Amino acid sequence: MAAELWINEDTGEMRIGDLALLQPYQTKGSIEPQVADLLEGSRDYGNGYEWLYLGGLTFGGLSARLALCFHNGSLEQASWNVQLPDAPAEGGWPTREAIDCELSFVRDTLVRDMNIHAGQMPWGEVWSSFDAKGFMAANGLRYAHR
């Protein structure tokens, strides 16, 4: 069964079902064992930035993936995407209509289920917007610098 991704409006902590509670600036070493069953891949850029890619999640009840960004071993940012059922695609890529539907779904879920509005939060920033360069939905959060 897929694990639900949920974000705490007061702290920015991310809960992944009953598997993990991820906190701002938590170490990669303490997160990896918690999410091992969801890990689809990782990437170390060799410049202090590393990413973990997780699958088998849901967001608002729909299939989702999550990417966790670590800087110098600490969690600083996360981004996710949601797979809408029957989303229009062209050549395997989502259409602008599908992207706009995903953004609307993510924004609605953030507000309805988590009381989070895109923009500045006491603990950082949340966004859900169209990325014109990548032609995709960009959903994510970044923790404020300590």
Asked if residue 68 lies in contact with residue 128, where contact means CB atoms within 8 angstroms, the answer is no
Taking the complete model, does pTM exceed 0.75, yes or no? yes
| Nearest of 52, 73, 63 to residue 5 by alpha carbon | 63
Q: What is the pLDDT of residue 93?
A: 86
Residue 73: which domain range?
Answer: 3-143
Q: What is the pLDDT of residue 43?
A: 97
- Residues 39-59 as b or e (16 or more Cβ within 10 Å = b): eeeeeeeeeeebbbebebbbb
- For residue 129, list its beta bridge partners: 138
Q: What is the pLDDT of residue 99?
A: 96
Distance between CA 89 and CA 103 in Å, rounded? 15
Distance between CA 144 and CA 73 in Å, rounded? 16
Vertex 69: Cα angle to 115 and 76 (nearest 5): 60
Q: What is the pLDDT of residue 87?
A: 85
How many structural domains is the chain composed of?
1
Copy the structure tokens of residue 3.
């694990």
Residue stretches of the chain with pLDDT short of 70: 146
- For residue 124, list its beta bridge partners: 121, 143
Copy the structure tokens of residue 36.
């091992």
Give 44's Cβ-side CA count (13 Å radius).
5
Copy the structure tokens of residue 88.
């229009």
Q: What is the pLDDT of residue 69?
A: 98
